């Protein structure tokens, strides 16, 4: 005889107590609230924190997500809420999969986004595999993004609060991963709601500040990290204009980014000049007027496509595209050239588009994310 059995809040047709969920705990307020919330709902919660780099060095660093004190904070939350907590040493994996590529990308004149690679190659790959080994039914994180069930299966949607939305950093989440992941905070309207929940649960991290930096880059100083990893990286070279005329000397390509105007050391030349290209091979920083930064055509590769139809099923896709995490998505046309490559045309040009950044695709209406890819060469 058919019967209607209500699914629990994580989408399983069983009692929360019979549903094991691994919570990826960074030690911050977001993932701590997720763990506490699920524990209060009666789920079989297991907290897991990744040690991603040297513990001793991490203890002396503030403002990052995976420092030693954060491991301690995650453990305190688990003890307070009464669920098991494990710390996994992923230093070697993190160095090989994230830090080394970060260094190589910078040396090649790109502007990488290591947080995306960390989600893709460590948290949603190795950690997710560990969750399955622990016989968990799913893995939950504190990311501000939503997972919805559509006609073709789970879909990725931007967070209810656009100021907290983290979809730019999660575009490479695959359909298989999405079927296993849960994002319990994506529906919240503000970070204030999250902190109110932390206070409600009496969490020791309720007032902990948000992390700001990339976890292995102290104070946002990318160049110092690259110099430690590659001591020969700061080789000086020429600053040239678009015609190749030498205007000055720089102290290493790694110290410059596309769109930079200040700190070039070539003042007094008339109109302001901006970095428009980094020619790492020839150790040249190319500068030009602001209009030279404008880009409309963007080659994108390593596309992770989350649409219901194959990317190559159409010659064009009209979407919204975001080329930087801090910018709103804008109208664009995707023209596929393979299952993982495309030319993206921005309807209105954008300044400062840089190789190494992500280009993320959104539906023209609604909140759905169609995936994205990596911008891979200069204009």
DSSP character at residue 267? -
Buried residues in 215-241 as b, exposed as e (16+ CB within 10 A)? bbbbeeebbebbbebeeebbeebbbbb
CA-based radius of gyration for the chain: 22
DSSP character at residue 122? I
Is residue 215 annotated as a catalytic residue, yes or no?
yes
CB of 285 within 8 A of CB of 240? Answer: yes
Instruction: State how far the Cα of 379 lies from the Cα of 374, in Å rounded to an integer.
Output: 14
Q: Considering the candidates 65, 118, 138, 359, report the single residue annotated as catalytic.
A: 118
CA 81 to chain centre: 29
Instruction: State how far the Cα of 78 lies from the Cα of 64, in Å rounded to an integer.
Output: 20
Rounded to 10 deg, the angle between the 222-229 and 100-107 helix axes is: 100
Q: Considering the candidates 65, 66, 138, 215, report the single residue annotated as catalytic.
A: 215
Q: Show Cβ contacts of residue 269 under 8 Å, excluding neighbours closer than 6 positions.
A: 247
List the Cα angle 88/203/115 in 5-degree steps. 45
**Distance between terminal CA atoms of the chain?**
64
Q: Which of 36, 46, 10, 71 is nearest to 134 (CA)?
A: 46
CB of 329 within 8 A of CB of 365? Answer: no
Q: Where are the alpha helices (DSSP H) in 41-112?
A: 55-59, 68-81, 91-94, 100-107
Annotated catalytic sites, by residue?
A: 118, 215
């Amino acid at each position: 005889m058919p019967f209607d059995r209500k699914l629990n809040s994580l989408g399983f047709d069983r009692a929360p107590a019979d549903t094991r969920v691994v919570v990826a705990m960074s030690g911050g307020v977001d993932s701590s609230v997720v763990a506490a919330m699920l524990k209060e709902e009666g789920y079989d919660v297991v907290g897991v924190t990744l040690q991603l780099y040297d513990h001793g060095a991490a203890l002396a660093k503030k403002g990052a997500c995976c420092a030693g004190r954060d491991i301690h904070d995650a453990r305190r939350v688990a003890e307070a809420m009464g669920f098991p907590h494990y710390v996994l040493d992923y230093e070697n994996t993190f160095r090989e999969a994230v830090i080394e590529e970060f260094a190589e990308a910078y040396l090649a004149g790109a502007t990488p986004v290591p947080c995306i690679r960390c989600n893709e190659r460590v948290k949603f790959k190795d950690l997710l595999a560990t969750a399955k080994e622990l016989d968990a039914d799913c893995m939950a994180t504190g990311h501000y993004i939503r997972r919805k069930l559509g006609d073709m299966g789970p879909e990725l949607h931007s967070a209810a609060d656009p100021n907290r939305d983290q979809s730019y950093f999660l575009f490479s989440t695959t359909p298989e991963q999405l079927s296993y992941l849960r994002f319990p905070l994506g529906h919240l309207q503000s970070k204030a709601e999250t902190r109110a929940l932390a206070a409600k649960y009496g969490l020791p991290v309720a007032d902990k500040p948000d992390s700001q930096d990339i976890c292995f880059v102290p104070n946002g100083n990318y160049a110092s990290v690259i110099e430690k990893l590659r001591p020969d990286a700061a080789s000086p070279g020429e600053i040239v204009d678009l015609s190749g005329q030498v205007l000055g000397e720089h102290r290493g390509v790694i110290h410059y980014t596309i769109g930079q105007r200040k700190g070039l050391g070539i003042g007094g030349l008339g109109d302001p000049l901006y970095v428009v290209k980094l020619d790492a091979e020839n150790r040249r920083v190319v500068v030009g007027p602001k209009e030279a930064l404008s880009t409309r055509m963007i080659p994108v590769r390593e596309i992770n496509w989350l649409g219901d139809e194959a990317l190559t099923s159409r010659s064009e896709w009209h979407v919204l595209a975001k080329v930087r995490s801090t910018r709103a998505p804008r109208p664009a046309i995707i023209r596929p050239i393979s299952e993982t490559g495309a030319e993206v045309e921005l309807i209105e040009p954008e300044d400062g588009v840089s190789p190494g950044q992500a280009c993320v695709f959104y539906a023209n209406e609604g909140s759905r994310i169609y995936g994205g890819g990596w911008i891979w060469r200069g204009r």
